[in-house]
Structure 1
Amino acid sequence: MRNLNLDQVQTLIAIADLKTLAAAAQALHLAPPTVSLHISELESRLGATLVVRGRRQASLTAAGQVMVDAGRRLLAAADEAVEQVHRRAQGLQGVVRLATTAGVSAGLLPPLMQWLAQESPGVDVKLDVLSSAESMARLVAGTLDLAIVALPQASGSGVQVDAWRSDPMVALVPAAWPAPPQVTPQWLADQRWMSFGPATQMYRLTAGWFAQAGLNPRPRMELNHPLALRSLVVAGHGVAVLPLEQPGVAGQHGEPDTAGLQVRPLHPPLLRELGLARRSADAQDPAILAVWRALDTFANVAAPPPPSHRVVQA
């Protein structure tokens, strides 16, 4: 069988998205007969009917839906390949695919990305928010380069995981609420409190903290977004338990934004542990090393140095 024609695949995806051949032709700046020819040739090549042409709309067959799902991945990979070639041709370093957990807040990511842009402007970072399990799976599959993951995670299958950050968990309390100097499990259990969802590290940490005190309270609200939880605290809807992230660049620490809320330490203390995961096969890639160094700058635990100490030029 001959190789797939990506233009024909793109035409099929346009029909799937826009529901008619005429709309697909307009969006792709093609003549309607060319769209019909693309689909006919693609169906002939695959030996399967992909599109059912109705009077008003075109719909996909089951085989057509499989081709559309696979085709989106093919086109994304092709776009990435073209982009990397263009960047290398311009003397730039490349694209690094980085994933982070939802629990890493906007207080940490913007200064990290700014630091990287200043130190290695030739590196383009594509950022995804994924669960730690999905990040590890994508590292093994080779569709991700680096990931910030919740610890513990086991190294193996060509993926190395190292400790990166250990941030104290604190209670964020509405400014108008009376709050003790330290928040205990019993005090928090008696309040309206909000949490990340049950599938997250944040939830498991908080649940374990309650369990040590013999408690198992249910949160009033579950929301997997630290900034949204913080905003709800400021609005007086409840208490949230989140990590106190102080980025720290070149030995300096940023002050956390506490406007509209009170920050109280937990008693007993609770830590959120994060690690850096990378593919061992990519240990010497210059662009990945540059991102690793940027991430290492924001570490607050004794993490191992990047695999190579040579200077990476932008």
Structure 2
Amino acid sequence: MRNLNLDQLQTLIAIADLGTFAAAAQALHLAPPTVSLHIKELELRMDATLLVRGRKQAELTASGLVLVDEGRKLLTASHDLMERVQRRASGREGLVRVGVSAGVSTRLLPMMLESLSLRSPGVEVRLEAEGSAQSMRRLGMGQLDVAIVASPQPAAPGIQLVPWRVDPLVALLPATWDAPEKVTPEWLSQRRWASFSAPTQMHGLIANWFAQAGYQPRPFLALTYPGALKSLAAASQSAAILPLEEVEDQLHQPGVQIRHLFPTLLRPMAVAHRQNLEQNPAIEHVLAVLNDFASETR
């Protein structure tokens, strides 16, 4: 037995709603013989009489009433399915796997996710904490769709790298410390300071900042979570070197103070993604939101 024809079902429902074959034909933009053929074929397929033509209008039989009631659900489900397929094809719906390195601001992430949910509510993002090198490998293997990584990165086949943000690093210090206007490697090397653990890009940047001034101090503590580093300074335990946008919420907190570094230390980031976006059009929606949060100095 062949499957139910939804066009024929729609014709039956139109007759039930409008009362006559002629009115259904006009509403569906069909020729009257086509409407009659739809009903004839539908009755043959169901092996049941569905309509009885009266003088003024067609009446549903008991079998026709059942088919119309359940048929409405089928047509609604069919329309919903088509809409969902179209949303997925246009990128308005879908899952995007995003690798995020330790240096990405924990303040920016919620803002970006909120922006995406407002602009593209059907797009779901799955965040995965990864180092930059691991994110690049997983992009190449198709296990990630997008990654926010340290810059620069080696070129990789099929992967596009776009500069994203260039943010200054600053020192977050306990408020009780007598600190200079700008923190130098010499001054900080003589005090307790904490930073990101190896082998993150942040660790390498900070180590090189000290090394260029002739210092190789070891951090008091090395962590991967920015929030923990901020709490150390707030508890007067040590200084913390962090991206400026990570500590902007601390500007008016009484327990800490923020100082810029001298020489200036910048943290460049890039957005990496697979070049073939046709496999998952939702990626373009995520990239658009990331672009909104790109820094002007990229």
TM-score by length of 2: 0.67
**Partner residue in 2 for 1:206:** 206
CA distance in 2, matches of 1:120, 1:88: 14
Q: Which runs of 5+ in 2 are unaligned?
A: 1-80
> Is the Cα–Cα contact under 8 Å of residues 282 and 288 in structure 1 kept in the other structure?
yes
**Partner residue in 2 for 1:130:** 130
Amino acid at match of 2:226: P
Q: Secondary structure at the match of 1:172?
A: strand
After superposition, the Cα gap between the structure-2 partners of 1:302 and 1:171, relative to the gap in structure 1 and judged at 3 Å, is: closer
After superposition, the Cα gap between the structure-2 partners of 1:206 and 1:159, relative to the gap in structure 1 and judged at 3 Å, is: same
Q: CA RMSD in A?
A: 2.2
CA distance in 2, matches of 1:281, 1:90: 19
Deviation at 1:155, TM superposition (A): 2.6
Q: Secondary structure at the match of 1:228?
A: helix
Matches within 5 A, 1:75-154: 88=84, 91=87, 93-154=93-154
> Is the Cα–Cα contact under 8 Å of residues 170 and 243 in structure 1 kept in the other structure?
yes
**Partner residue in 2 for 1:282:** 277
**Partner residue in 2 for 1:186:** 186
Pair member with larger Rg? 2
1:227 paired to 2:227: yes
**Partner residue in 2 for 1:71:** none
**Partner residue in 2 for 1:237:** 237
> Is the Cα–Cα contact under 8 Å of residues 120 and 290 in structure 1 kept in the other structure?
yes
Amino acid at match of 1:286: P
> Is the Cα–Cα contact under 8 Å of residues 163 and 275 in structure 1 kept in the other structure?
yes
After superposition, the Cα gap between the structure-2 partners of 1:184 and 1:86, relative to the gap in structure 1 and judged at 3 Å, is: farther
Q: Secondary structure at the match of 1:136?
A: helix
Which of 240, 262, 266 is 2:261 aligned to? 266
**Partner residue in 2 for 1:176:** 176
CA distance in 2, matches of 1:138, 1:103: 18
Q: Secondary structure at the match of 1:256?
A: helix
After superposition, the Cα gap between the structure-2 partners of 1:289 and 1:262, relative to the gap in structure 1 and judged at 3 Å, is: same
Deviation at 1:232, TM superposition (A): 1.1
**Partner residue in 2 for 1:163:** 163
After superposition, the Cα gap between the structure-2 partners of 1:232 and 1:255, relative to the gap in structure 1 and judged at 3 Å, is: closer
1:294 paired to 2:289: yes
> Is the Cα–Cα contact under 8 Å of residues 167 and 272 in structure 1 kept in the other structure?
yes
Q: What percentage of aligned pairs have identical amino acids?
A: 48
CA distance in 2, matches of 1:155, 1:118: 33
Relative to total residues, which structure has the larger helix share, 1 or 2?
2
After superposition, the Cα gap between the structure-2 partners of 1:121 and 1:104, relative to the gap in structure 1 and judged at 3 Å, is: same
Deviation at 1:123, TM superposition (A): 0.5
CA distance in 2, matches of 1:87, 1:208: 54
Matched residue count = 212
CA distance in 1, matches of 2:83, 2:142: 21
CA distance in 1, matches of 2:250, 2:168: 16
CA distance in 2, matches of 1:176, 1:291: 42
> Is the Cα–Cα contact under 8 Å of residues 166 and 297 in structure 2 kept in the other structure?
no
Deviation at 1:196, TM superposition (A): 1.0
CA distance in 2, matches of 1:156, 1:106: 27
Q: Secondary structure at the match of 2:276?
A: helix
